């Protein structure tokens, strides 16, 4: 999936209560798109932002059923997950 986060400061992103990423968004507020499959992060203009995101992309696995995405730190004004499905 792709996760889009809008905010500022240093944000910790959690999946099902497990910290997956730390995102240094700086100031002023920006938008960062984390592409889990490509293991890359970009700003809204398409510039590579990999140095701003640390963590383990391989740990971001959405198990079947409900999942909780949460965050702490920084100022977050929006989080969205691109509709994602995969058939095996």
pLDDT tens, residue by residue, 10-69: 999 999 999 999 999 998 999 999 999 999 999 999 999 999 999 999 988 888 889 999
Alpha-helical (H) ranges within 1-88 are: none
Cα torsion angle, 38, 2, 19, 79, sign = positive
pTM (predicted TM-score): 0.87
Q: How far is CA 44 from CA 5, 6, 16, 48, 58, in A?
A: 10, 10, 26, 10, 23
Q: How far is CA 74 from CA 10, 18, 25, 45, 79, in A?
A: 5, 18, 8, 22, 13
């Amino acid at each position: 999936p792709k996760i889009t986060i809008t905010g500022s400061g240093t944000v910790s992103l959690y999946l099902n209560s497990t910290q997956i990423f730390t995102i240094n968004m700086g100031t002023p507020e920006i938008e960062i798109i984390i592409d889990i499959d490509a293991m890359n992060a970009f700003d809204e203009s398409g510039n590579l932002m990999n140095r701003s995101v640390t963590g383990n992309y391989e740990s971001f696995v959405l198990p079947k059923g409900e999942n909780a995405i949460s965050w702490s730190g920084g100022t977050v004004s929006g989080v969205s997950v691109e509709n994602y499905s995969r058939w095996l």
